[in-house]
Structure 1
């Protein structure tokens, strides 16, 4: 796994009941990829990044000095103006590869730490299935287990009242992950988060129709963590492609500010760009790309302004994670807060019909490109952050 150096603001420890604090001066933040990049076409990799410069520990502690570092539920609800009590009974599905044997117990620790309601198999809130809907779980994998922990924790943070369905694919092959997406939809999930990606190729159109064409279901996909450049399935015309931001507290009326996660040098940060294969959906109107443009919307993804996550499968407990693996389940949770999409709707189009209910991100870049909006933030639509980040739920309803 490679190490990256990102120079942005770090995070200090925060008690679960208090918003995370940031230092006044920048600090170097080191991260590692939880999953190796795929070696061949049709294979995906998880897009989670873990901070390596944050002290890790296990369990729930009353000691503020041992409280989780990174943003927690109250921070996300404040930053994105989200209701705490909506989404009751809605099921958000998480699709990942491999097994996390500790998924339910780790989720319990996360939710107990932040005072969120129980979400367990026993009370019907949490369920875990294989890609066929059974309990023949795939081989456990520490990298994907970290991804799973990030995903279920972010859904919990944004929509504490939601149910969570974890569908574990047999492998990171697109055919297995796609089968898991179909399984999630067949089990009734109206919101499906996918925090993985791989290279675009000429078979994407077949995958689109086979796995992602589900009217009335909000399917979110991470845009990538390597800066400017497109990945699949974020490039699918049927999904909401979710980019990434750096999120910081400030003295504005909102109390927060955001910029593109990445730099003009490229190589890391939120993915964006013009698809080589997928056609442009009718609801997307930017003029510098005749095919599908990535992304649609965004949320926090920068590990340097990252999220508290609890993961103990071959891991050390509390961590700070980031990547667009974080922003995809966050946006899936926001869709769930917004209410059930109508049967034949295209939820990916919803934000385009109500852009005023989004925080427009106007600074930062994830690389160099032409036309520049595909990699550089500006007023209105841009590639790295799409139309912006949630300001309430109105932009995510039909």
Structure 2
């Protein structure tokens, strides 16, 4: 997309040499690839959308929304690419005509591929995966013919920054982990492993590279696996929150994880090592609850902008009863007086009826998948509850096996 700029000062492009190297050049148009071009392009495009009656979401400034006569249209912008969706199909053609009058745009049709994410449509729902991206990673790393693995990491594997010999070329490890980080956009089943591997970017060693190769073997076996968003699923949210207490052998800090569902489909997940050392598992769980609460709060703002706010308190599943008591009853002063004040946002949101904590059995805690390395049986048991699908493994007759944490069914999904 060509965007005009009023003023821009830049250095000569690579390969262009003059005798006076101290000169800079004033551009009348932005050059694609410059740092200023992306900011100027977003500014020009967002200004045009606001002139057309769109408003920017306060939860995501790249999301533009317009409500008109009971219908809505949404535009998600990323640099010079954007996605348009709507509740009324006639609105898209109107918006496209208005944009064509101001910019040179190209209509790529129904969304099938965006930023490395493959999209498959059907009446049953929407399927997202990164199969091509995975195959490219395997090819670049030379693991196209590797033996498949059942899990992304060996059970109870403990990595540290002292065992093993340092890598001769650490850049290969850093590049590989960087590629894997983006893969977690559609693969919550590998987020824990990637989180562990990313902690050794400063000085990777051979055991770290071996663990990364094990993850590649798992990706080889599940390259076609992705997330399925059912069109018949409800829009009732629910959250799961858990931690692995003092799991880091180097710092003794706990690992926090959460997964938030909209109906039967996961829409947000994260795993992170806590910033401080907790004195007890309830305290560590309370800190984990605070992080998940902030994410639920943000999602509530986003859903409100989309026109479908959370009406009822979000069911929030936690397997630590003491942490739930601390969150609902602030009388436990001796146990909480040393905890940072921002963690007490949990009690505030419970009082405001935004979340509703529920005790769940430890063996039913889905988030164990993103907080620790599990054995094969436990891993696949929890992974089956995350609405994962594999379009490369038909169940016969062109049907696709559909498994959710609510039920199991077989649906015929013709792809566009």
Q: Give the TM bin, normalised by the shorter chain.
A: under 0.3
Q: TM-score, normalised by structure 1?
A: 0.25
Bigger radius of gyration: 2
Q: Higher helix share goes to which structure?
A: 2
Identify which of structures 1 and 2 has the higher relative contact order when contacts are C-alpha pairs closer than 8 Å and 6+ apart.
1
